[in-house]
Chains A and B, each alone.
Chain A
Amino acid sequence: MTVHRGRGFAAINYPIGMNLGGDPSQALVHSNPDGKFTVALSAIDLGQGMKSVTRQIAAETLGVPIEDVYVDTADSDTGPHDMGSFASRGTHRMGNAVIRASEEARQVMLEAAAEELEVDAGDLVTDGRGNIHVKGAPSRTITTMAAAQAAQFRQGRTIAGRGIFLIPLSEVDPETGEMSPVTTFAHAAMLVTVEVDDETGEVTVTDMQSAYEVGRALNPKLVEQQLRGGAWMGMSHAAWETTEPYYPSRDHGPEDFNTYLMPGPGDLAPHHISILERPAEDGPYGGKGPGEMCANPVLPAVVNAVYDAVGVRIDELPVTPEKVLRGLQAQGGARPRQAL
């Protein structure tokens, strides 16, 4: 029995969003009588941070403290329409919609403030701390709360904004198959180290080094959280998980958590993450989507690392001990390449 070490590399481009009849997201923003803002949207937060990042985006665009923004994703039946939380589209699509809605609401807020201050709305700026003042004359000031209350109780004005961001459907050219379904790609590269036991066929990922290009990391801690958890899921898909181990046959397929294999906390590989920021031109404050693509580079990198370690090329995931052993048998044992 010998344990062979191998290294594998993979790089990916990940398209943000999808192309099923166009890809729209809508957001509505309105102020409450206390000068705080509610952002209504139907992009559901599954723990990936949708509410946090749209709250940041709304506060930044409105020019108010983040504490003054509440994001309401309560009900996708009654909220403004969104395609959903998938395809790594949330931050990019919904973030842009929130910017547009917030810009419209901000404009009304400034007009309400201008009426109170008896100045032109174009001369007003926000300080991000809950105040609106005349540019160059900070003493001519009104709080966002006072402006909202004036709009509500004196001016009869709704401080509100609508926003939609739409990537239209890209029709497929019937002759060439050409289309342009996406406007933004995220990128990732990964180097993994594996150990392959040539007696048992077991593959152990022992180290992961990655670089993810995510546009601007609007919330760096949430980005890191996505990358770390997503890469773990990629490692799990690469070496463990399947619902049809003998696809297309359902034989020996797992039926519950007892038989569905996943790595546990004892099967982790150290993961060293570099986050590269290249703000996207059409992204909200440059953000893209670090969702699904966290997992993607791990799978080909693991497959390449197994090839590097023992010379067996696996082309169906996951890389199970059985596949490795059959490959070793077919080629008459391990043929370490160790090219990397």
Chain B
Amino acid sequence: MAKTPVSFTLNGSPRAAFADPGQNLLEFLRRDVGDLSPKFGCGQGTCGACTVTVDGETHLACLVLAQTVEGRDVGTASGLARGAQLDPLQEAFMDHFAAQCGYCTAGMLISARALLDRNPRPTRDEVVEAISGNLCRCTGYEPIIAAILSVAEGRARA
């Protein structure tokens, strides 16, 4: 079957690429668009490493059909920094040693950013809920929770 052109916005910039029929958004972003920040962990919607936003709402890119983002706004971790200016969450993750191997980090950041965008002052329970779909093997989660809360409470490095 023929490939389909998909036009969408990636981190605020218009992009277009050809998607295979049935291709998922994760593979599309990584292979055809060239954004390697969403990670392939399990490919079945369990690990959260491929978390992206579509129109501001978090989705697991491995479970989204690439063609469905036509005309929509996709956000990935590579869009968090503005040039050399890191997102406060990225700064906080560094300050709190919230990454080790780094494989979950991009998905964690997206889940956390989406939470803070809709709820700038979440409780600890709300932070836990927001990242409950993101598996981390290294940190024991506590440094990640602490990093997100530090931004929520406005204590992050400017």
| A residues lining the B interface (CB < 8 Å) | 46-48, 221-222, 224-225, 228-233, 256-258, 262, 264-266, 268, 271
Contacts and interface: CB of A to CB of B under 8 A. Distances in A.
Contacts of B46: 256-258
B135 A231 contact: no
B132 A225 contact: no
B100 A268 contact: no
Interface string B34-51: 000000011010110000
Given A256-B46, A268-B140, A47 B99 contact: yes
- Give the contact-size bracket for chain B: 20 to 34
A225 B97 contact: yes
Contact of B101 (A47, A230, A257): A47
State the 7 A-B residue pairs at the shortest beta-carbon distance, nearest first: A232-B140, A47-B100, A47-B101, A257-B46, A265-B141, A229-B140, A225-B97
B145 interface: yes
Interface string B97-122: 10111100000000000000000000
B148 to A, nearest CB: 10
Contacts of B137: 233
Nearest to A222: B97
B89 interface: no
B101 A46 contact: yes
B129 interface: yes
Interface string B9-51: 0000000000000000000000000000000011010110000
B42 A232 contact: no
B129 A266 contact: yes
Given A47-B101, A265-B144, A256 B139 contact: no
Interface of B: 41-42, 44, 46-47, 97, 99-102, 127-129, 131-132, 135-145
- Main secondary structure, interface of B, reads loop
Contacts of B41: 257
A232 B141 contact: yes
A257 B42 contact: yes
B113 to A, nearest CB: 16
A265 B104 CA distance: 13
A91 to B, nearest CB: 15
Nearest to B41: A257
15 contacts: A47-B102, A225-B100, A225-B139, A228-B142, A230-B140, A256-B42, A256-B46, A257-B47, A257-B135, A264-B132, A264-B141, A265-B127, A266-B129, A268-B141, A268-B145
A224 B131 CA distance: 22
Given A228-B139, A229-B139, A264-B141, A257 B44 contact: yes
Contacts of A262: 135
B57 to A, nearest CB: 20
Contact of A266 (B99, B128, B139): B128
A85 to B, nearest CB: 12
B140 A228 contact: yes
A224 B42 CA distance: 29
A20 B102 CA distance: 31
B138 to A, nearest CB: 5
B110 to A, nearest CB: 15
A257 B142 CA distance: 21
